[in-house]
Amino acid sequence: MKELPKLTSKNVDSILQSLLAESTKEIEEPYDNQYNKARLAFLRQALKCVELFIEHERYNAIEKRLDRLDGFISDIKQGMFSPEAAEWIRSKNGIQQS
């Protein structure tokens, strides 16, 4: 079994597919229990690493969206208290400023 390559968002799908193929491969003859235990332990560890990488990528994507929303909210709050915003709201409601 070869070492798990560096995980990136571009190669994670192919690595997951290769791990799946490796996990469904037939046991080599002659049956060597130690080898198969080590193989199974490696596959479990590799799958866990891929799973953690995917979760990390999802977390980062959600965090980026939240940062953008925070920026929008901040911009809206600043705009709500500007004189131009107050004037625009009054003009939309038909209120004349005296």
**pLDDT confidence bin for 69, thresholds 50/70/90:** very high
What is the rounded average pLDDT of the residues 34-47?
Answer: 86
| Range from 13-17, 75-79, 87-91 that averages highest in pLDDT | 13-17
Mean pLDDT of the chain: 84
Distance CA 12, CA 6 (A): 9
Residues recorded for the chain:
98
Given this model, what pLDDT does residue 90 score? 79
This prediction has a pTM of 0.63
The distance of Cα 38 from the centroid of its chain, to the nearest Å, equals: 30
Q: Per the structure block, which two tokens stand in for 40?
A: 């199974």
H/E/C letters for each residue in 47-89? HHHHHHHHHHHHHHHHHHHHHHHHHHHHHHHHHHCCHHHHHHH
| Nearest in space to 19 (alpha carbons), one of 37, 35, 40 | 40
